[in-house]
Amino acid sequence: MGAAFFYHLTDGPAEELLPQLLKLAGKQGWRVEIRGRAARAMDRLDAALWRMGPPESFLAHGRAGGAQDAAQPILLTAEGEPAPGLPCVICLDGAEAHAEEVQAAERVCILFDGFDEAAVQAARGQWKRLTRAGCAAQYWAQENGRWTKKAEG
């Protein structure tokens, strides 16, 4: 059974944390679904991932709906698109994670902007729904450039 890890972002946008999380998932041998709420936002992230970092740190990925979905180590999806049930799911921009997928996955990461009150409230709502459903969860916050575990449920 997996766990949901909530990341309260205050030192930078999700795009700055994503490469770290994706590299850690890759070291575990996990394929990753990155889920957003809107297809346009995922298209922008797709373009950004191609330009992120030096060439040797390239993160191979693709948008859901292509012929190579099953081979992609990182698959970008938007809510409403078929979710392939990968071992690691990273939710951005308020995209929902459901208890069944948290329990089936190795790890579900929920990244939210600590300066956006609506995003904070949405993350609190997800925490309550997931922990009430029996999912393991951890809440991590950025403090002075470091991650600190603040709660576990």
Q: Comparing C-alpha atoms, which of 133, 141, 84, 135 is closest to residue 112?
A: 141
> CATH number for the domain including 102?
3.40.50.10110
Residue 16 confidence class, pLDDT cut points 50, 70, 90? confident
Distance CA 15, CA 44 (A): 11
| 51: its two tokens | 């330009």
Closest by CA to 115, choosing from 142, 97, 133, 135, is: 142
Range of the domain at 9: 3-152
First-to-last CA distance in the chain?
Answer: 14
Q: Which of 86, 92, 113 is nearest to 35 (CA)?
A: 92
What's the predicted TM-score (pTM) here? 0.93
Please write the tens of the pLDDT for every residue from 104-143.
999 999 999 999 999 999 999 999 999 999 999 999 999 8
Q: 9 has which bridge partners?
A: 113
The count of structural domains within the chain is: 1
